Structure 1
Amino acid sequence: MTTKKFVPVMLTPFQDGKAIDYKILEDLIEFYLEAGAGGLFANCLSSEMYQLSKEEMLTSVSFIVQKVAGRVPIVATGTFPDSLENQAAFVKEMYGTGIDCVIVITSLLADETDAEAVFEANVNQLLALTGDVPLGFYECPVPYKRILRPDFLGKLVRTGRIKYHKDTSLTMDSVRAKIAASKDADDFALYDAYMVHAVDSMKAGSAGLSCIQGNYFPELIVWLCNHYDDDSAEVDKVQQFFAQNMGVMHDTYPASAKYILEKRGLGITQICRNGSELRNTTDYDKLDTLFDQFKELAQEINLNVIAYENKM
């Protein structure tokens, strides 16, 4: 069975004044790694990147690189709403933090109304402007979602510059087509964000998972990466758990994930800069039920719930 990896989309913890809480960020890094993460995706949508200044992006990513100290690869977003020339300049700055690959947001390389030809021309221009910096793509849903065409991804991968792709197409047909288009590349990995078809995606050849659910229960995502090919009722239960709880995990995210981690004893608060918050007792009740379901499932599959299990 091919080894699969979980790459968390990292949260950003904030203090009461909404400054980045670097003490808790260090704890969060260790939490991901102890859970078995095979890499880290820093400065992403889950990190509330659009609410961070460029200085905060660079400082926080540099901090993560320093604390990880080479234990796992790190990718981080290096584009933001601006001209291609300025995006390219920031890509180089972000790469200078010591990360392994700079992630490009597909929806920032063309307007939503632009034709595919415009988008692809802009991608090629960005590659030309960024020298030999290793790049990856993230089909981020904000400001809108632009899905890469499989044949275009294949062409990009064959340049040797593209090392990473986070897929949010939400369809197995698209995932399979992208995997097929990039199958001959030795140094490229496609990670799926959509937990509804996580098992099918890994069986089809994806490198693993990079999903928001890992900010609630990272060790359960790692377990699935390790057992996805088992023909067992346990794998079915874990896949079903994620599919059935898509709504509650997305509804008030990332405040919801921070609440669960707070319950787990991590020390993080629910403070977000992007306006996410738990609105009423119903939101809390749904998340408390989710947490109880996780604990029951963990017992059923003999999951080693690490780091904060004494506080569960």
Structure 2
Amino acid sequence: MTRLSEAARGVYVIAITPFTDNGALDLEGCDRMVDFYLEAGATGLTVLGMMGEAPKLTSEESGIVVNRILKRVAGRVPVVVGVSSPGFAQMRALTLQVMEDGAAGVMIAPPGSLRTDDQIVAYYGQAAEAIGDVPFVLQDFPLATGVQMSVPVISRIVADNPTCVCLKHEDWPGLAKITALRKAGTLDRRISILCGNGGVFLPEEMDRGADGAMTGFAYPEMMVHVVDGHARGDMERARDLFDAYLPLARFEQQPGLGLAIRKYTLYKRGIIDAPALRKPGAALDPLTRAEVDMLIARLEKRLKELN
């Protein structure tokens, strides 16, 4: 098993959790989803993230989903597992389980109860102690967690915890934060920066010093195009492709509806059998589904023109 390290780069797709129409786990859908992400060029997967509906799963179901995905991946790419939890006992138990099953590392988001810089730094020190020598991703997503992590706070967490090897950068606006983190002397060592927010700022994030994406989008190949284009020094072509996908990526970023749109799009692409979210979860009305259909049709037309 290859462990996650500061060298992580590329596209780590945030995996959805497929459900049947009645809310049961769709494990065969998990297999197809994994195959689809890998065929699209993903260099890693992240499961049980916020867009994976992790809080809606029982502890047993979380273990089942991770185990199924790891078996399907079969070591071809690293898999990161979200283990954020109100308590460290549960975080440690899930971490030990998924690492034993073959995960490469875990991701930890801060609880919304943290208010001060010192509280944030202390929390991550305690979390790192709880999970031992397991490498972890620091998730910076203030729009969802309500926790604001400044550049100095991130610097302190990285300095205090050698097992913090990656930042999932999902602040918005956040381009200046990437620039500050990449400035010489800000961090005591270089860590990986993988970005979120559905990839809608990915070209600019790559130019600012990010190493790739750790997010979901129903067309992960868009993110692969951008990251690969940056590596080749051909951002002009990458931006042309990005621009073709952008209307759908923008539509998918709607708060409260984004996951439903993503699942519906994956359903339309034939990846999953049902676009169901486990309750509580928003369902798309007929007009919104029609808008997604129109955006998919326009995307396909534009891609034909570019190719």
Show the counterpart of 2:157.
Answer: 156
Cα distance, 1:96–1:3 mapped onto 2, change above 3 Å = closer
Alignment of 1:38-77 (within 5 A): 38-77=43-82
Question: What is the Cα deviation at residue 260 of structure 1?
Answer: 1.3
Cα distance, 1:83–1:210 mapped onto 2, change above 3 Å = closer
Q: Deviations over 1:64-106 (max 9, x none)?
A: 11111110011011122x2334433433333333211111112
Contact 2:12 2:214 in 1 (8 A): yes
Counterpart-to-counterpart distance in 1, 2:93 and 2:143: 21
Q: Secondary structure at the match of 1:30?
A: helix
Cα distance, 1:182–1:68 mapped onto 2, change above 3 Å = farther
Cα distance, 1:135–1:3 mapped onto 2, change above 3 Å = closer
Cα distance, 1:286–1:125 mapped onto 2, change above 3 Å = same
Counterpart-to-counterpart distance in 1, 2:70 and 2:204: 32
* Structure 2 residue 179 is matched with structure 1 residue 179: no
* Structure 2 residue 22 is matched with structure 1 residue 21: no
Question: What is the Cα deviation at residue 60 of structure 1?
Answer: 0.8
Show the counterpart of 2:91.
Answer: 87
Cα distance, 1:20–1:179 mapped onto 2, change above 3 Å = farther
With normalisation by structure 2, the TM-score equals: 0.86
Show the counterpart of 2:193.
Answer: 190
Counterpart-to-counterpart distance in 1, 2:166 and 2:9: 14
Question: What is the Cα deviation at residue 242 of structure 1?
Answer: 5.0
Alignment-mate amino acid for residue 189 of structure 1: S
Counterpart-to-counterpart distance in 1, 2:272 and 2:123: 42
Q: Which runs of 5+ in 2 are unaligned?
A: 1-6
Cα distance, 1:36–1:279 mapped onto 2, change above 3 Å = closer
Instruction: Give the fraction of aligned pairs with identical amino acids, expressed as a percent.
Output: 21
* Structure 2 residue 35 is matched with structure 1 residue 30: yes
Show the counterpart of 2:208.
Answer: 204
Alignment-mate amino acid for residue 203 of structure 2: V
Q: CA RMSD in A?
A: 2.4
Alignment-mate amino acid for residue 166 of structure 2: Y
Contact 1:135 1:161 in 2 (8 A): yes
Q: Secondary structure at the match of 1:70?
A: coil
Alignment-mate amino acid for residue 251 of structure 2: V
Show the counterpart of 1:309.
Answer: none
Cα distance, 1:122–1:242 mapped onto 2, change above 3 Å = same
Show the counterpart of 1:167.
Answer: 169
Q: Which runs of 5+ in 1 are unaligned?
A: 303-312
Cα distance, 1:147–1:240 mapped onto 2, change above 3 Å = farther
Counterpart-to-counterpart distance in 2, 1:123 and 1:189: 17
Alignment-mate amino acid for residue 124 of structure 1: G
Q: Secondary structure at the match of 1:90?
A: helix
Contact 1:147 1:168 in 2 (8 A): no
Cα distance, 1:231–1:222 mapped onto 2, change above 3 Å = closer
Stretch moving more, 147-156 or 282-291: 147-156
Stretch moving more, 287-296 or 20-29: 287-296
Question: What is the Cα deviation at residue 217 of structure 1?
Answer: 0.8
Show the counterpart of 2:3.
Answer: none
Counterpart-to-counterpart distance in 2, 1:55 and 1:141: 29
Cα distance, 1:97–1:64 mapped onto 2, change above 3 Å = same
Q: Deviations over 1:244-298 (max 9, x none)?
A: 4454213322221121122212243111114334432220121012211221232
Contact 2:225 2:238 in 1 (8 A): no
Counterpart-to-counterpart distance in 2, 1:77 and 1:90: 9
The number of residue pairs the alignment matches comes to: 292
With normalisation by structure 1, the TM-score equals: 0.84
Counterpart-to-counterpart distance in 2, 1:238 and 1:49: 32
Counterpart-to-counterpart distance in 2, 1:200 and 1:247: 15
Q: Secondary structure at the match of 1:41?
A: strand
Show the counterpart of 2:277.
Answer: 272
Counterpart-to-counterpart distance in 2, 1:207 and 1:238: 19
- Aligned match for 1:256, one of 248, 257, 261: 261
Stretch moving more, 97-106 or 147-156: 147-156
Counterpart-to-counterpart distance in 2, 1:121 and 1:40: 28
